[in-house]
Amino acid sequence: MGKQLTVEQQFKNVLKEQNAYREAISLAQWDMRTKIPRKGVEQRSEVVGFLAEKLHLLETSDHVKELMDELKSTTSDEVLSKTVEVSLETYEKNRKIPNEEFKEYVMLQSKSESIWQEAREKADFSLFQPYLEKLVDFNKKFANYWGYEANIYDALLHNFEPGVTTKTLDKVFPKLRNSLTDLVDRVNQSDVKPDPSILKTHFPKQEQEAFSIEILNSMGYDFNAGRLDDTIHPFAISLNQNDVRITTRYDEEDFRMAVFGTIHEGGHALYEQNISDKLSNTPLATGTSMGIHESQSLFWENFVGRNEAFWASHYELFKKYAPKHFENVPLDSFYQAVNEVKPSFIRIEADELTYPLHIMIRYELEKALMNSEIEVKDLPHLWNEKMVDYLGIEPKSDREGVLQDIHWAGGDFGYFPSYALGYMYAAQINNVMMKELNMNDIISSGNFIPIKEWLTKHIHQYGKMKKPLEIIESVTKEQLNPDHLVKYLTDKYTRVYNL
């Protein structure tokens, strides 16, 4: 018989088990989205379900709860104490939902995703409507189990952006929305008409990939702790800090998809690769929230990748890989074209300036739904009305309207605001970084490591040790402030469109 394990040792063993399940699940998912043969999908879904259930059991075990309660009052170790705090939150959150309801919900999610797919293909909202109604009802019920202070929607927001409430959002979103719609109006009236058709030429995948890899290396993405693959829907996924993978999509007729997509996912990946080793094998070893994650990807994609200095200094490198066609495209026209503003229907294809308006629409509809101010059946026409109000265009079908995103089919209500929050965070972070680093010189040098190091020092290393608003406030010395994003976009597009 060995020695009795201490409570701390027992808890750390549980954490290791949880992490092993997490890595196995992440790998299975990565494989499903990149490599799995078609016929293997069904069995794999069951394997992922099984592993997820095992993880869930460990997260909600009474025995583990006892260990955590004990440690909560005895440990003085900072990482351990935060680990207990975060794990207790997960425990409470999961335990508040009755087992039977949780199982029913999981089955509904998986069924709804496949129905949504069909509904989107057929552009027929009525197929999806009954499922969405149930999903909304479940989410309302869960929100009530979890509890909230001011608004039922806050309970859902908390899952993606802890600390952020409808009150926070209602302070910043309308301001952002008004500024952006004004700016879009001015852009629409400008005589400057960027011509994105000059970007469209056959650009072989291999060359796009080679250029993307050069940029990832400049960013400091560690290929010894990650890899780049090809997918339909680009994503970044962390198996652990030493194995953070990204994927991108190659459109051989439009390089923008892969190049900006890779920089975006690379931003997510840098965050995960640079979390402190001290947090390894704890649930703290991942990004602190969806919003902070998106701040990293959008920072790299927009503030670096669509930056004037970036293209001024990298256009020659780009042309080394690009087809000859670009020899006849002047830098100015190229830069304008990659920064064209044009209201469009599909969120993930939106430009830098109109993107946040797509998020506003979803936020307003979700909040109203959860507060029972509107009904699921009203979503299609409300969606279209808002599109006309904010973007001046009307979807011709629900496929390019209310049915475009998978989020609701997966039951993810409260997720969308993170995209706009991340963008505001990014602008706020950029504002500080510009004071501390000579950004133009760094971006022009082609060696972005100082930026990566700055982000690691201020954000990445902490993982979940700090909450999102804690990060923003400690880095920027101010609260969430939409002015920085408005100023960034106004300055940039005033120059691009000669306003």
Contact residues: its own copies, CB under 8 A: 16-17, 20, 23-24, 27-28, 31, 35-40, 42-44, 46-47, 50-51, 222-227, 239-240, 242-243, 245
Q: How many CB atoms lie within 10 A of CB 274?
A: 22
- 265, 294, 364, 366: the active-site residue: 265
**Catalytic site includes residue 265:** yes
Q: How far is the CB of 16 from its own copies (least distance, A)?
A: 7
- In the bound state with its own copies, the residue whose beta carbon lies nearer, of 34 and 461, is 34
- Strands 228-230 and 243-248, sheet pairing: parallel
Tokens at residue 407, please? 């989020």
Q: Which residue type is seen at 481?
A: N
Instruction: Supply angle C-alpha 107, 108, 110, rounded to 5.
Output: 65
- What interhelical angle do 125-146 and 152-160 show, nearest 10? 90
Q: Which residue's entry shows tokens 């919900």?
A: 105
What are the phi and psi torsion angles at 82 (to 5°)?
A: -70, -35
Which phi and psi (to 5°) does residue 133 adopt?
-60, -45
CA 34/CA 184 separation, integer angstroms: 37
Decide whether 178 or 223 has the Cβ nearer to its own copies: 223
Taking a C-beta distance cutoff of 8 angstroms, is the pair 244, 269 a contact? yes
Measure Cα distances from 113 to 139, 188, 389, 407, 437 in Å.
16, 37, 29, 9, 45
> Any idea what the Cα angle at residue 206 is, between residues 201 and 207, rounded to 5°?
55
Judged by beta carbon, residue 23 or residue 133, the one nearer its own copies is 23
Structural contact between residues 21 and 55, judged by C-beta atoms closer than 8 angstroms: yes
Phi, psi dihedrals of residue 284, rounded to the nearest 5°: -85, -10
Instruction: Please identify, using beta-carbon distances, which residue of 22 and 492 lies nearer to its own copies.
Output: 22
CA distance 27 to 325: 40
Cβ closer to its own copies: 84 or 244? 244
Closer by beta carbon to its own copies, 104 or else 478: 104
Pairwise CA distance, residues 23 & 30, whole Å? 10
* Shortest Cβ 48–its own copies spacing (Å): 9
Beta-carbon contacts of 327 under 8 Å, excluding residues fewer than 6 positions away, are: 319
Nearest to 338 by CA among 425, 255, 235, 239: 255
Q: How far is the CB of 65 from its own copies (least distance, A)?
A: 22
Please report, for residues 214, 215, 339, 346, the alpha-carbon distance to residue 320 in angstroms, rounded to integers and kept in the order given.
Answer: 11, 13, 22, 32
- Between 273 and 404, CB nearer to its own copies: 273
Report, in Å, the least distance between residue 142 CB and its own copies. Answer: 23
Residues 317 and 214 sit within 8 Å (Cβ to Cβ): yes
**Closer CB to its own copies, 235 or 318, in the complex:** 235
Please identify every residue annotated as catalytic: 265
